[in-house]
Amino acid sequence: MGESTEPEYVPEFETLQVHAGQKPDSAFLARGVPIYQTYVFNFRSSAHAARLFNLEEEGEIATRTGNPTTAVVERRIAALKGGVASVAVSSGQAAVFMTMIAFAGHGDNIVASKHYQGLKYPTHGYPQPARR
């Protein structure tokens, strides 16, 4: 058969606001985003847990490092802003810290005024571990 002549479907902004970043729940086919109010997630086996902790497989370990509800918010914001990805954090200070860490490499120095809003000595006064 020949190539399809139908144009690729691009959702409008209003549709993205409601549906971007989410697939219907596989267990119940719910259209709304489920709210996962849990801290830890179960593993199918110790091998499954090892793959998750070694970042060899995508999945949830604990809400502190990722949560399916938060993941929908991140994907939705990226879609609404035309971005590739986004990160949701719990506070402005966390956002400032994550931005600084993204730009600073291992062994780099961060120079900031002690009067800068959000910077605290314990966060920036100690060496950070090397990234893998």
Q: Would you say residue 116 lies in a domain? A: yes
83 band by pLDDT with thresholds 50, 70 and 90: very high
Q: Is residue 108 part of a domain?
A: yes
CA 63/CA 37 separation, integer angstroms: 9
| pLDDT at res. 91 | 87
126 versus 88: which is more confidently predicted?
A: 88
Q: Judge whether residue 67 has pLDDT over 70.
A: yes
Domain assignment of residue 8, yes or no:
no
Are both 69 and 111 inside the same structural domain? no
Contact 30, 23 (CB under 8 A): no
What is the per-residue pLDDT across 93-122, written as a single tens digit (0 to 9) for each?
888 888 888 888 888 887 777 666 655 555
Nearest to 100 by CA among 71, 72, 120, 78: 120
Determine, yes or no, domain membership for 56: yes
Mean pLDDT computed over every residue of the chain:
79
What is the total count of domains within the chain? 2
> What is the distance, to the nearest Å, from the Cα of residue 71 to the centroid of all Cα atoms in its chain?
6
* 45 and 71, same domain (yes or no): yes
pLDDT of residue 85: 92
pLDDT for 128 beyond 60: no
Q: What distance in Å separates the CA atoms of residue 115 and residue 113, rounded to the nearest whole number?
A: 5
**One domain for residues 20 and 77:** yes
Residue 3 belongs to some domain of the structure: no
Domain extent, residue 75, equals 13-81
- pLDDT above 70: residue 124: no
d(CA 72, CA 23): 9
Residues 20 and 65 in one domain: yes
